[in-house]
Amino acid sequence: MDRYAVFGNPVKHSRSPWIHARFAQQTGQSLVYSADEIPLDEFEKRVLDFFAKGGAGLNITVPFKERAWALCDTHGGFAAKAGAVNTLFRNKDGQLCGDNTDGIGLLRDITDNHRGQIAGKSVLLVGAGGAVRGVLPSFLAENPAKVTIVNRTVIKAQELAALLVGQAEISAIGFEELEGRVFDLIVNGTSAGLHGDLPPMPSSIVSTDTWCYDMIYGRGDTVFQAWARQCGAAKALDGVGMLVEQAAQAFYLWRGIKPETAAVIADLRAELSASDQD
Ligand code: ATR
């Protein structure tokens, strides 16, 4: 049976094995998918061993996405620019190929599942770490009118904007410069919510037409979602759909078949709220 896994540290809360088992069942594919916690100093060796022993594909999560990018012989899609990969496989020439499906996952969730628009919109990306970096190239390809990156450490936002300058109107600012601006779409890509924190954003950046999207998810609303609702945002979305959509794109790269995501997203939500009652 074809073997797949997600490599991360920590990884035990990963929902990927559950999602890929659902995809495999739905599409009649025979495969196994595990979640493997990889010691920090063993990542490269473990990836190479996995493929040498016939493994078919890997997902890569925190904190290894940049190291996985560096290990690849070649990059597909927008991954070369993203500088981080979450999906690995061997291409037909036997090369280790890395792709980043997070960007497509985010876009599909916003535009297909929620019928939102990015083209022509004024977008604020909050954060300048791996999460934002991973989705930025695919985001720019959707032709937003203007992309602003805001980050606590402004130099990181500036470095990220400089990498992609020329592709869209892109600027980098600190949180204190947000006052007086309003955005059509605000995407939170910081890890603040994982610690119950909220980046220091004034409520004035949200109008009743603004869509807010948190790349993370929790059992109920994330801190960012709760803030967005309080500000009167048109939508306050979490990252559950993005998680399933990025997995669906990885499944497609590996198997050549696109799974249906709607039922899997709905079931994952049900799982999350059921675990609430534990
Ligand atoms: P990831 O790969 O998940 O993006 P990361 O590279 O460590 O992780 O980046 C975390 C992001 O969340 C950064 O943009 C970080 O801001 P700094 O670059 O200034 O560190 C941001 N972040 C984390 N906690 C935050 C907080 N409490 N308020 C605002 N931003 C926060």
Q: Is there an atom of ligand 1 within 6 Å of 129 CB?
A: yes
Q: DSSP state, 177?
A: G
CA 190 remoteness from chain centre: 11
Contact 36, 4 (CB under 8 A): no
Q: What is the pLDDT of residue 278?
A: 42
Q: Is 65 assigned a catalytic role?
A: yes
Does 61 lie in the same domain as 118?
A: no
Catalytic residue among 45, 65, 81, 146: 65
Does 52 lie in the same domain as 180?
A: no
Residue 53 belongs to a domain: yes
Q: What is the pLDDT of residue 70?
A: 97
Strands annotated E in the chain: 2-8, 31-37, 57-60, 74-75, 87-90, 96-99, 122-126, 146-150, 170-173, 185-188, 211-214, 235-237
Does 235 lie in the same domain as 146?
A: yes
The total number of structural domains that make up the chain: 2
**What is the C-alpha to C-alpha distance for residues 108 and 240, in angstroms, rounded to an integer?**
12
Does 200 lie in the same domain as 93?
A: no
Chain segment 116-141, per-residue pLDDT in tens: 999 999 999 999 998 999 999 988 99
Residue nearest to atom 21 of ligand 1 (CA): 190
Which single residue is written with the structure tokens 């600190």? 174
**What does the CA dihedral 260, 261, 263, 265 come to, rounded to 10 degrees?**
170
**Residue 144 one-letter amino acid:** P
Q: What is the pLDDT of residue 276?
A: 57
Residue 276 belongs to a domain: no
For the chain, residues with pLDDT lower than 70 are: 276-278
Does 223 lie in the same domain as 112?
A: yes
Does 221 lie in the same domain as 236?
A: yes
Does 254 lie in the same domain as 221?
A: no
Residue 124 belongs to a domain: yes
Does 62 lie in the same domain as 12?
A: yes
Does 226 lie in the same domain as 153?
A: yes
Residue 271 belongs to a domain: no
**What is the C-alpha to C-alpha distance for residues 85 and 82, in angstroms, rounded to an integer?**
8
Does 230 lie in the same domain as 184?
A: yes
Q: Which residues contact 181 (CB under 8 A, 6 or more apart)?
A: 124, 148, 205
Q: What is the pLDDT of residue 275?
A: 77
| Average pLDDT for the chain | 95
CA 53 vs CA 40, 49, 71, 234: distances in Å: 21, 6, 17, 50
CATH of the domain at 12: 3.40.50.10860
**Residue 208 one-letter amino acid:** T
CA of 121 to the centre of ligand 1 (A): 24
CA of 126 to the centre of ligand 1 (A): 9
Q: Which residues contact 161 (CB under 8 A, 6 or more apart)?
A: 149, 170, 171, 172
Chain segment 160-205, per-residue pLDDT in tens: 999 887 777 999 999 999 999 999 999 999 999 989 999 999 999 9
Residue 189 belongs to a domain: yes
CA of 191 to the centre of ligand 1 (A): 5
Residue 196 belongs to a domain: yes
Does 204 lie in the same domain as 109?
A: yes
Residue 139 belongs to a domain: yes
Q: What is the pLDDT of residue 25?
A: 97
What range defines the domain where residue 135 resides? 103-240
Peptide bond into 10 cis (omega under 30): yes
pTM: 0.95
Does 108 lie in the same domain as 236?
A: yes
